[in-house]
């Protein structure tokens, strides 16, 4: 965690009222490069007014008397200054930086990809069916807030999306497609060992937005070339994918961009990675609605059963909706028909 620390004695205070002022950069959101910071003012004199003076006015927050900190989110990448003002108009300024995330991932989902536009569709977002959104249909069943991978078979405990509402999706400017789960795995994938996981939003252009910790390079092994890793991507009804070969950071400032849209993903001689949706454009295979398969992903009769049992259901956030338009019908079964029998060797935990 990045910490910017400064001590100040203002002429309006006695020496005994010395205060500690801190800015903690808590996270950086890849894709939008938005950061979340905590501004702390531990002192005797309160309340404090806190401003981030590098962004638009009207964002002041108050650290109430007896409290010590406030949170600012959606700060763009770059240099900022936190300005803390106490009730005596004594001001301290703390510079800090929101960095871009060093691990950027892009991908396409076959079921949502539209060849006419070269982007993915946003039917779930448009219908208000993503977790925490307000549905547009009067008969719709609202999807509870929170990332959808907390349940079996993923069992990911992250709190991303908890308490989200329509306002949290607004920063994606109506481009949200669905939630994705990313896992960083150790180089030796037999058995797979998780280093880091994050759930986040995939937008229609294929950019994956997730909360990126400032020390991500250290978490996944730093710059030691022996600490290589794989990146695995999972979706609720698409076959999981993984980087074809292990990767690593080359330096303390090195960034890694993984673009699954340009090439096929991990596979062996007996399995499949991704589908070439159109010439030179790759995406995750749609149709894997039942992801209980072990030890990898498999599109088979169990997935068809998921579709059969849900056929005719609309305005519901459900795995059988393979084209992600909030309506389960024959158009979803087409993906199963085309991909039935395909399997992967990407390991599951």
Give residue-wise pLDDT tens across range 31-69.
Answer: 554 677 777 777 655 677 777 765 544 467 777 766 667
DSSP 97: E
DSSP 271: S
What is the overall mean pLDDT for the chain?
86
Q: 37 with 23: CB under 8 angstroms?
A: yes
Position 14 pLDDT exceeds 50 = no
Provide mean pLDDT across the span 71-95.
Answer: 78
12: pLDDT confidence band, cut at 50, 70 and 90? Answer: very low
Query: What's the whole-model pTM score?
Result: 0.80
Q: What's residue 57's pLDDT?
A: 46
The phi and psi torsions of 278 (rounded to 5 degrees) equal: -145, 175
Q: Which of 212, 21, 209 is nearest to 107 (CA)?
A: 209
Distance CA 155, CA 107 (A): 22
Q: Which of 347, 206, 184 is nearest to 256 (CA)?
A: 184
- Alpha-helical (H) ranges within 183-241 are 216-219
110: pLDDT confidence band, cut at 50, 70 and 90? Answer: very high
Q: What's residue 11's pLDDT?
A: 41
Q: Which residues contact 192 (CB under 8 A, 6 or more apart)?
A: 185, 186, 232, 347, 348, 349
What are the Cα distances from residue 24, in Å, to 27, 66, 198, 266, 297?
A: 9, 20, 20, 38, 40
Q: 341 with 323: CB under 8 angstroms?
A: no
Provide mean pLDDT across the span 325-341.
Answer: 97
Give me the domains of the chain, ranges plus CATH numbers. Answer: 2-98 (2.60.40), 103-339 (no CATH)
Which tens digits make up the pLDDT trace of 278-318? 999 999 999 999 999 999 999 999 999 999 999 999 999 99
152: pLDDT confidence band, cut at 50, 70 and 90? Answer: very high
Distance CA 96, CA 25 (A): 8
Distance CA 68, CA 47 (A): 9
Position 95 pLDDT exceeds 90 = no
Distance CA 173, CA 90 (A): 39
Half-sphere exposure of 90 (CA within 13 A, CB side): 19
Which DSSP string do the residues of 292-325 spell out, in sequence order?
A: --SSS-B-SHHHHHHHHHHTT-BSS--TT-TT-S
Q: What's residue 81's pLDDT?
A: 83
In sequence order, what are the beta bridge partners of 233?
182, 241
């Amino acid at each position: 965690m990045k910490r910017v620390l400064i001590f100040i004695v203002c002429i309006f205070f006695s020496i005994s009222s010395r205060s500690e002022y801190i800015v903690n950069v808590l996270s950086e959101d890849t894709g939008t490069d938005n950061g979340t910071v905590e501004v702390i003012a531990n002192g005797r004199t309160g309340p404090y007014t806190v401003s981030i003076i590098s962004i638009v006015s009207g964002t002041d927050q108050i650290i109430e008397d007896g409290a010590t900190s406030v949170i600012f989110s959606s700060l763009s990448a770059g240099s900022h200054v936190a300005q803390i003002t106490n009730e005596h108009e004594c001001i301290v300024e703390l510079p800090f930086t929101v960095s871009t995330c060093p691990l950027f991932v892009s991908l396409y989902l076959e079921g949502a990809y539209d060849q006419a536009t070269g982007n993915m569709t946003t039917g779930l977002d448009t219908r208000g069916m993503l977790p925490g959104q307000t549905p547009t249909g009067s008969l719709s069943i609202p999807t509870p807030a929170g990332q959808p991978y907390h349940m079996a078979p993923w069992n990911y405990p992250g709190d991303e999306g908890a308490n989200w509402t329509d306002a949290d999706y607004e920063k994606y400017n109506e481009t949200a497609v669905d939630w994705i789960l990313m896992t960083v795995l150790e180089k030796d994938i037999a058995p797979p060992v998780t280093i880091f996981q994050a759930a986040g939003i995939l937008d229609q252009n294929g950019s994956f937005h997730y909360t990126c910790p400032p020390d991500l390079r250290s978490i996944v092994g730093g710059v030691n070339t022996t600490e290589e890793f794989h990146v695995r991507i999972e979706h609720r009804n698409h076959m999981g994918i993984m980087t074809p070969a292990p990767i690593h950071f080359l330096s303390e400032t090195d960034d890694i961009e993984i673009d699954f849209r340009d090439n096929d993903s991990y596979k062996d001689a007996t399995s499949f990675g991704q589908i070439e949706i159109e010439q030179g454009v790759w995406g995750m295979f749609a149709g894997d609605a039942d992801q209980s398969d072990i030890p990898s992903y498999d599109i088979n009769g169990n997935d068809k059963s998921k579709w059969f049992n849900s056929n005719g259901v609309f305005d519901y956030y459900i795995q059988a909706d393979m084209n992600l338009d909030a309506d389960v019908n024959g158009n979803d079964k087409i993906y199963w028909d085309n991909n039935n029998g395909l399997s992967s060797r990407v390991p599951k935990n």
